[in-house]
Amino acid sequence: MRKKIVAGNWKMNLDYNEGLALFSEVVNMVKDEATGTQEVVVCSPFIHLHSLVQLAKGSAKVSVGAQNAHQAESGAYTGEISAKQVKSVGAAYVILGHSERRQYFGEDNALLAKKTDVVLANDLKPIFCIGETLQEREANVHFDIIKSQLLEGVGHLDAAAFSKLVIAYEPVWAIGTGVTASSDQAQEIHAFIRKEIAAKYDQSVADATTILYGGSCNPKNAAELFACADIDGGLIGGASLKSRDFTDIVKAFN
């Protein structure tokens, strides 16, 4: 059966020492919690990755991820980080397709397809984000948008490669706004995504795919969201910057 995952996305927050302190607290707190969450992933800025991997050693449940990787294996791309470099410090995951990357850095589905290939080729697991803007939802094209992000971004993969992905549904209007999708809205889209995966591959691939919800998820609303049949955990932004809040979300699968 698919894995229940709670992933934190620190975005461009926390200096080196702040990140290590927060991560140490999370590792310690998560260790003692009885929870249905099977894996806790912290996606930090690149500067923290190596140290977090060291701190996570000995924790069966906590993994580390990056928030991006370049589409090339290596080369003259000043300021960029490759998937191979991320892999070399021991990280396990890479977030791809986050709406902030799509919006501020012009990452489109074609580019994300290339990034997905490179990340997978380096034996890293993509957390592949899809989700509509408020305008798209209001124009009632959100299903089309989500379907095209899914199929154009990762639909070229064969079933074996696709099964290494985690999908994250993040409605852009809910990210960092304090406006969470209702559990009904989120479940509707998660079920739709799973149906599209089944149509593209087959039902067993769809049933095995972890689909996370992201967007103003917090300790108060996590349990209701995670109780939905097709929601397999969360991708947590703001609340992942506080160890107690993040751990309470991890506990929400109880």
Residue 97, annotated ligand binder? no
**By the rule CB under 6 A, 220 interacts with ligand G3H:** no
* Closest separation in Å from C-beta 88 to ligand G3H: 24
**By the rule CB under 6 A, 176 interacts with ligand G3H:** yes
Residue with tokens 């490669």: 161
Residue 11, annotated ligand binder? yes
Q: How far apart are CA 123 and CA 92, in angstroms?
A: 8
Stretch that binds ligand G3H, among 31-39, 84-92, 140-148, 213-221 (CB under 6 A): 213-221
Per the rule left: phi > 0, alpha: psi between -120 and 50, beta: everything else, 214 is beta
**By the rule CB under 6 A, 136 interacts with ligand G3H:** no
* Closest separation in Å from C-beta 200 to ligand G3H: 24
For 69-104, give one letter per residue: b (16+ CB within 10 A) or e.
Answer: bbbeeeeeeeeebbbbbbbebebbbbbbbbbbbbee
Is 5 within 8 Å of 235 (Cβ atoms)?
no
SS3 63: strand
Nearer to ligand G3H, 84 or 243 (CB): 243
Structure tokens at 182: 């209702």
Distance of CA 102 to the CA centre of its chain: 15
**By the rule CB under 6 A, 237 interacts with ligand G3H:** yes
**By the rule CB under 6 A, 210 interacts with ligand G3H:** no
Residue 238, annotated ligand binder? yes
The single residue among 153, 171, 215, 219 that binds ligand G3H, judged by CB under 6 A, is: 215
* Closest separation in Å from C-beta 33 to ligand G3H: 20
The single residue among 51, 210, 216, 247 that binds ligand G3H, judged by CB under 6 A, is: 216
Please work out the total of residues on this chain that contact ligand G3H, with binding judged by CB under 6 A: 14
Stretch that binds ligand G3H, among 44-52, 54-62, 77-85, 211-219 (CB under 6 A): 211-219
Catalytic positions are: 98, 170
Amino acid at 27: V
**By the rule CB under 6 A, 238 interacts with ligand G3H:** yes
Q: How far apart are CA 214 and CA 170, in angstroms?
A: 5
User: Which positions from 19 through 78 interact with ligand G3H, judged by CB under 6 A?
Assistant: none
Residue 19, annotated ligand binder? no
Q: Residue 46, Cβ neighbours under 10 Å: how many?
A: 15
Q: How far apart are CA 226 and CA 231, in angstroms?
A: 6
User: Which positions from 85 through 104 interact with ligand G3H, judged by CB under 6 A?
Assistant: 98
- CA nearest neighbour of 21 among 243, 249, 247, 239: 243
Binding-site residue numbers for substrate are: 9-11, 176, 216, 237-238
Q: Which residues bind ligand G3H (CB under 6 A)?
A: 9, 98, 170, 175-176, 214-217, 235-239
